């Protein structure tokens, strides 16, 4: 046993697959004095790794998770602990057959070799399956199983062999010392260890450990039931642990996986059984291990019946028995994604939690890179723990969403599907008015935002087929043609859009300008009253954020960013604040409500409620200033994300309803329509080819590729500048283009509408891959009612990025021809931007 | 033949047992429940007897509603019929337990069901009173052999064996008889999937025996002093082979 060091460069808490992988990758990247501790014994300290079923399905609709998984498989293969078995997701319902086609598309988007099988083809691979109850399968030969305990041990040993790692099992953390917001030391049962960097990779125990430091890791332990049935006579001659493909019985949320002579049957079908992190048994209290709780049979009975139906030949044999059964604990998060990165509350305290076996080594590599260079090769933004707002860290929210998400593990989740639990948390001052207008609310970061208004149903008659009605249920789900009618009404007259979900940060102080220059790509030394649209880069020149900044005074900037990105962006800004305190950041999100007023009649409308000069000369595009609307002083900012004349109006929260009423009443003369986020975030912006963070803009793309590089680079230094200059000097590896679909009509005669993330291929179905190995896929898709086309955005390799080039999009197993309409950022609608500048 | 097996729902403890702060119970917050191991063997023995000789097996327990879990477990292994003598969850002493079981057996007899064999565990895993089987035999005036580790039915008699310090003790008893079974008599099977699902749908016959005050009362539980375990790492990987062999020799395993 090693003696406890009193000092370390980094302490990693938790020696499951995550902690072991992370220790290895840190060592590989040159870290020394790494200490890995666990309260349990090694190699199986008793966490979720120890009871995992250890199989790896490759395809996920999320690119981020798929890339982590693919990288993990490669690492497991290199360690010699991966056994390829193949795996098949089977469909029992027609709805699932369709979903499997969608998964097939995701496989193509992310470059995975998969195929759709008939029941007979599934039977050929899995002779014991009851092919009569399935309608088909989605097969991925690259699927397999892994010995995660062995893999973890090997990685730990590699780090030890490099002389970089001290391992301390049977060492329990009793406290984490924090001084002025920075982690300083870890207190353990074997003594204190001073360290400026501490990583929590403690799985289900993580919330408890984070709390010791005053930080929050919003996950909940949850039960996943699993049984092992055997001995199966058919498996008697299996060499190694698996011979037959793993089956996921998607429609009943179950899986069957051979494990030596046994079949493991697992389920995500039972009621959600959440477990309080404070109430996990100790190693002494637990019969098997703290994460293997007593099996509750009645919860599993339905799954037994399903398994028996699917594999009666094996599982119906009265001679084989249930030899092992557990309620295994694993980690769930409110949005289903892992929790990675430095916590927002404590500098130097990192979370690497809520991770499955399938993605652990890939995530560990990414986080180690992030800790070392500030940026990872695979963009982990979707999993960044900094994404959570305070309300999302409450037990009420965590429990509600984890419970709701549990049964979606194998679910068919629509890309626009809304959460049902814990709604109505953040309400704008316009909420009451919106409700009266029949708003259909979608949630963004807790905000209830109207996606469309039923009161606009009358517009459907006015616009007829121009609203591009969707007759196929999937695309009509979580959608309404009213969105497109609102779009047209806005383009014809004027619309009011609630944008209160914006995150708003004020940067003030004598160092504000210098600081903003350092953060932003675009020149910030502009006259007060100017609005600047800018990107923020990471040190490698990847796109970290995309936002607007108002300069309100000599030492006063106001940053406005998307609600989804708000907390991540806030952490990025906060982390870079000058040490000398010469600039401060305050979060004013809850102080300012925002109302967008846009459309050809926006000036007439706003002018009618203010004495300020709203003329083009008096209030030019790209400027902002305080004006009075009746008795309320607001800040009007003349920009637009929908490509129309108009303003974003920032109003003190408590005065918001008053301003809404004034604009609404005055707007009646101008044919004002309340307009939802369906227009703002999709149709309006897509016609203008405006990029959206998280869709087109990611850390894995750069400004040259996405077409946001400006002709000039400012002389002042900024984060990522060096990389950016290099990117500009090279030919782009991939270029963001806008395409339109030539013909939406499917074989069934329905018009179909891709939703985004589908693969885009050559007309003969070959994938498009750039020189870095990135595949082309649709980053955003939506209606363009004013141009009468379905609009798609996709990055294309330069040889394909030419106007008029034909491609095909695979959508639910059919190919649709699409043509490049624009290369780069030129809008499809109003390419000269005459509207916004009129 | 008809076989009755009496079982008890007990906590499935691991190596370490924790008590509730008041010392009245085992802390079961993190534990599942099971059939006492000796009784699990009795169930297996009954299932085998019926498989071999035909007839019907009944499993009976005295306990709260949740004890139906153990009755269904027994039926999943092949028991035909289950009887719950439902209590409010209090621990019944051996005398009261015996009275309730005897009353149930007599009710069955009145309904035309006579048992040829009444199997008990040698002792329960939790209170370990060693009493109920013997008391039931006395109350019904039946022959009784305790602690059996082998059982065979031959020409209407039960040939049984007990293990003693010095060897095996073999006896033969006429049926009906009461036998208390010890772990090791057989290796109980695991429940099959069809067995488990069939058991789930089966009826459980219920009655509510009357609680009688008095008798043996639990004052409190206390844990024996547990020997401290020490772990000695012999080494890692393949180079410890000789040391393992040496250790096995020392322990007389080789």
Q: In B, which residues are within 8 Å of A286 by CB distance?
A: 14, 30
B249 part of a folded domain: no
User: What does the pLDDT look like over A40-65, one tens digit per residue?
Assistant: 999 999 999 999 999 999 999 999 99
* Residue B16: predicted pLDDT: 79
Residue pair A637/A502 in contact (Cβ under 8 Å)? The answer is no
B229 part of a folded domain: no
User: Alpha helices, DSSP H only, in A561-614?
Assistant: 566-575, 602-607
**Is residue A215's pLDDT more than 90?**
yes
User: What does the pLDDT look like over A280-315, one tens digit per residue?
Assistant: 999 888 889 999 999 999 999 999 999 999 999 999
Domains of chain A: 82-146+221-332 (3.30.9.10), 433-481 (no CATH), 731-823 (2.40.30.110)
User: What does the pLDDT look like over B193-215, one tens digit per residue?
Assistant: 999 999 999 999 999 999 988 88
Residues ≥6 apart with Cβ < 8 Å to B143:
B137, B173, B174, B177, B178
Average pLDDT over residues A633-646: 98
B 159-198 residues with CB below 8 A of A? 189-197
Q: How confident is the model at residue B237 (pLDDT cuts 50, 70, 90)?
A: low
Q: How confident is the model at residue B230 (pLDDT cuts 50, 70, 90)?
A: confident
**Is residue A636's pLDDT more than 70?**
yes
**Is residue A468's pLDDT more than 80?**
yes
**Is residue A1's pLDDT more than 60?**
no
* Residue A2: predicted pLDDT: 62
Average pLDDT over residues B164-171: 93
Distance CA A734, CA A776 (A): 9
Count: domains in chain B: 1
Residue B102 structural domain: 2-222
Q: Which of A38, A60, A71, A224 is catalytic?
A: A224
- A255 included as an active-site residue: yes
Distance CA A755, CA A792 (A): 9
* Residue A397: predicted pLDDT: 98
Residue pair B12/B126 in contact (Cβ under 8 Å)? The answer is no
pTM: 0.95
Give the other-Cβ count within 10 Å of A473's Cβ. 9
Q: Phi and psi of B4, rounded to 5°? A: -110, 135
* Bigger pLDDT: B251 vs B144: B144
* Residue B231: predicted pLDDT: 75
Residue B21 contacts A, CB cutoff 8 Å? no
Residue A293 contacts B, CB cutoff 8 Å? yes
What CATH number is given to the structural domain containing B31? 3.40.50.620
User: What does the pLDDT look like over A88-147, one tens digit per residue?
Assistant: 999 999 999 999 999 999 999 999 999 999 999 999 999 999 999 999 999 999 999 999
Residue of A821, A811, A750, A753 lying closest to A781 (CA atoms): A753
Distance CA A221, CA A274 (A): 6
Average pLDDT over residues A484-494: 98
Strand partners, B32: B12
Residue pair A145/A238 in contact (Cβ under 8 Å)? The answer is no
B247 part of a folded domain: no
Residue B200 contacts A, CB cutoff 8 Å? yes
Average pLDDT over residues A656-682: 98
B164 part of a folded domain: yes
B109 part of a folded domain: yes
CB contact under 8 A, A321 and B190: yes
* Residue B218: predicted pLDDT: 86
A 674-713 residues with CB below 8 A of B? none
User: What does the pLDDT look like over B69-94, one tens digit per residue?
Assistant: 999 999 999 999 999 999 999 889 99
User: What does the pLDDT look like over A390-446, one tens digit per residue?
Assistant: 999 999 999 999 999 998 999 999 999 999 999 999 999 999 999 999 999 999 999
Q: Of A275-279, A584-588, A827-831, B47-51, which gets the smallest average pLDDT?
A: A275-279
* Bigger pLDDT: B91 vs A255: A255
Give the other-Cβ count within 10 Å of B241's Cβ. 11
Distance CA A659, CA A649 (A): 9
* Residue B15: predicted pLDDT: 72
HEC assignment per residue over B140-205: HCCCEEEEEEEEEEECCEEEEEEECCCCEEEEEEECCEEEEECCCCCCCCCCCHHHHHHHHHCCCE
Average pLDDT over residues A730-749: 96
How much of chain A exceeds pLDDT 70, in percent? 100
- A61 included as an active-site residue: no
Distance from CA of A365 to the nearest CA of B (A): 27
B242 part of a folded domain: no
User: What does the pLDDT look like over A694-722, one tens digit per residue?
Assistant: 999 999 999 999 999 999 999 999 999 99
Closest residue in chain B to residue A292, using alpha carbons only: B30
B70 part of a folded domain: yes
B239 part of a folded domain: no
User: Alpha helices, DSSP H only, in B54-150?
Assistant: 68-76, 94-110, 132-140
- Burial, A323: exposed, middle or buried (Cβ in 10 Å; 0-12, 13-18, 19+)? middle
User: Alpha helices, DSSP H only, in A413-480?
Assistant: 431-436, 459-463, 473-476
Strand partners, B153: B158
């Amino acid at each position: 046993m090693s003696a406890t060091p009193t000092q370390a460069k980094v302490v990693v808490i938790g020696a499951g697959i995550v902690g072991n992988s992370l220790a290895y990758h840190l060592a590989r990247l040159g870290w020394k004095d790494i200490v890995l501790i666990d309260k349990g014994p090694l190699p199986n300290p008793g966490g979720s790794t120890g009871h995992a079923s250890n199989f790896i399905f490759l395809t996920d609709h999320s690119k981020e998770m798929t890339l982590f998984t693919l990288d993990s498989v490669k690492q497991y293969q290199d360690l010699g602990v991966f056994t390829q078995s193949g795996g098949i997701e089977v469909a029992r319902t027609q709805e699932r057959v369709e979903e499997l086609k969608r998964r097939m598309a995701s496989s193509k988007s992310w470059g995975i070799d998969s195929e759709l099988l008939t029941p007979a083809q599934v039977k050929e691979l899995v002779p014991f399956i009851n092919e009569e109850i399935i309608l088909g399968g989605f097969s991925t030969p690259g699927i397999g199983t892994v010995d995660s305990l062995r893999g973890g041990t090997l990685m730990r040993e590699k780090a030890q062999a490099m002389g970089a790692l001290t391992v301390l099992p049977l060492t329990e953390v009793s406290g984490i010392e924090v001084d002025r917001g920075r982690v300083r030391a870890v207190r353990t049962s074997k003594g204190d260890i001073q360290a400026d960097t501490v990583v929590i990779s403690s799985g289900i125990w993580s919330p408890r450990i984070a709390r010791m430091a005053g930080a929050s890791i919003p996950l909940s332990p949850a039960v996943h039931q699993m049984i092992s049935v055997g001995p199966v006579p058919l498996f008697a001659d299996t060499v190694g642990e698996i011979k037959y493909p793993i089956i996921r019985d998607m429609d009943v949320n179950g899986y069957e996986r051979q494990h030596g002579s046994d079949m493991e049957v697992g389920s995500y079908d039972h009621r959600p059984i959440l477990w309080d992190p404070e109430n996990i048994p100790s190693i002494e209290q637990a019969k098997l291990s703290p994460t293997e709780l007593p099996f509750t049979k009645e919860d599993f009975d339905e799954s037994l019946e399903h398994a028996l139906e699917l594999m009666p030949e094996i599982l119906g044999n009265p001679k084989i028995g249930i030899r092992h059964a557990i309620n295994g604990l694993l980690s769930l998060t409110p949005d289903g994604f892992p929790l990675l990165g430095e916590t927002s509350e404590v500098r130097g305290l990192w979370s690497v939690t809520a991770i499955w076996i399938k993605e652990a080594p890939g995530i560990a590599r990414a986080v180690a890179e992030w800790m070392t260079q500030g940026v990872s090769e695979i963009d982990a933004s979707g999993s960044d723990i900094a994404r959570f707002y305070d309300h999302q860290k409450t037990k009420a929210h965590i429990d509600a969403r984890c419970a709701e998400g549990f049964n979606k593990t194998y679910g068919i989740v629509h890309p626009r599907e809304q959460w049902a639990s814990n709604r109505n948390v953040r309400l704008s001052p316009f909420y009451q008015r919106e409700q009266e207008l029949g708003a259909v609310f979608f949630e963004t970061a807790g905000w209830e935002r109207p996606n469309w208004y039923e009161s606009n149903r009358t517009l459907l008659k006015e616009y007829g087929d121009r609203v591009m009605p969707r007759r196929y249920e999937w695309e009509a789900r979580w959608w309404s043609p009213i969105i497109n009618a609102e779009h047209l009404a806005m383009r014809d007259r004027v619309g009011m859009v609630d944008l209160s979900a914006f995150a708003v940060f004020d940067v003030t102080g004598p160092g504000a300008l210098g600081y903003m220059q350092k953060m932003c790509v675009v020149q910030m030394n502009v006259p007060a009253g100017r609005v600047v649209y800018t990107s923020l880069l990471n040190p490698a020149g990847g796109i970290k954020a995309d936002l607007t900044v108002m300069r309100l005074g000599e030492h006063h900037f106001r940053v406005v960013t998307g609600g989804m990105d708000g907390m991540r962006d806030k952490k990025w800004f906060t982390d870079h604040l000058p040490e000398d305190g010469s600039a401060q950041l305050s979060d004013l999100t809850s102080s300012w409500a925002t109302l967008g007023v846009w459309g050809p009649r926006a000036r007439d409308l706003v002018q009618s409620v203010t004495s300020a000069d709203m003329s083009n000369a008096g209030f030019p595009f790209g400027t902002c200033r305080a004006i009075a609307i009746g008795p309320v002083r607001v800040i009007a900012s003349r920009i637009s994300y929908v490509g129309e004349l108009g303003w974003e109006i920032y109003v003190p929260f408590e005065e918001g309803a008053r301003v809404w009423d004034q604009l609404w009443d005055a707007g009646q003369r101008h044919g004002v329509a309340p307009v939802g986020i369906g227009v703002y975030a999709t149709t309006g912006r897509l016609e203008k080819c405006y990029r959206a963070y998280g869709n087109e803009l990611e850390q894995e793309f750069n400004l040259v590729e996405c077409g946001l590089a400006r002709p000039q680079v400012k002389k002042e230094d900024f984060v990522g500048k060096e990389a950016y200059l290099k990117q500009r000097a090279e030919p782009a590896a991939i270029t963001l283009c806008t395409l339109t679909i030539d013909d939406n009509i499917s074989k069934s005669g329905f018009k179909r509408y891709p939703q985004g993330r589908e693969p885009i291929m050559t007309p003969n179905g070959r994938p498009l891959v750039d020189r870095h190995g990135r595949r082309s896929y649709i980053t955003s898709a939506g209606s363009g009612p004013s141009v009468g086309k379905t609009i798609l955005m996709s990055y294309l390799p330069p040889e394909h990025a030419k106007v008029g080039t034909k491609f095909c999009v695979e959508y639910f197993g059919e190919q649709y021809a699409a043509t490049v309409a624009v290369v780069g950022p030129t809008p499809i609608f109003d390419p000269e931007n005459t509207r916004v500048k009129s | 033949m008809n076989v009755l097996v009496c079982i008890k729902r007990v906590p499935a403890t691991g190596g370490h047992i924790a008590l509730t702060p008041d010392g009245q119970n085992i802390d079961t917050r993190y534990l599942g429940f099971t059939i006492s191991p000796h009784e699990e063997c009795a169930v297996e023995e009954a299932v085998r007897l019926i498989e071999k000789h035909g007839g019907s097996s009944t499993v009976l327990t005295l306990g709260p509603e949740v004890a139906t879990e153990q009755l269904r477990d027994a039926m999943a292994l092949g028991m035909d019929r289950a009887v719950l003598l439902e209590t409010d969850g209090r621990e019944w002493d051996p005398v009261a337990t015996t009275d309730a079981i005897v009353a149930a057996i007599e009710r069955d007899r009145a309904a035309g069901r006579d048992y040829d064999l009444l199997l008990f565990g040698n002792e329960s895993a939790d209170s370990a009173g060693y009493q109920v089987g013997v008391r039931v035999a006395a109350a019904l005036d039946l022959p009784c052999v305790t602690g059996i580790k082998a059982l065979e039915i031959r020409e209407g008699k039960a040939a049984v064996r007990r293990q003693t310090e010095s060897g095996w003790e073999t006896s033969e008893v006429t049926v009906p008889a009461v036998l208390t079974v010890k772990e090791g008599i057989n290796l109980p099977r695991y429940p099959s999937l069809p067995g488990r699902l069939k058991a789930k749908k089966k009826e459980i016959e219920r009655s509510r025996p009357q609680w009688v005050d008095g008798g043996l009362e639990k004052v409190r539980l206390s844990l024996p002093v547990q020997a401290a375990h020490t772990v000695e790492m012999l080494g890692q990987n393949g180079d410890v082979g000789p040391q393992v062999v040496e250790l096995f020799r020392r322990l007389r395993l080789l």
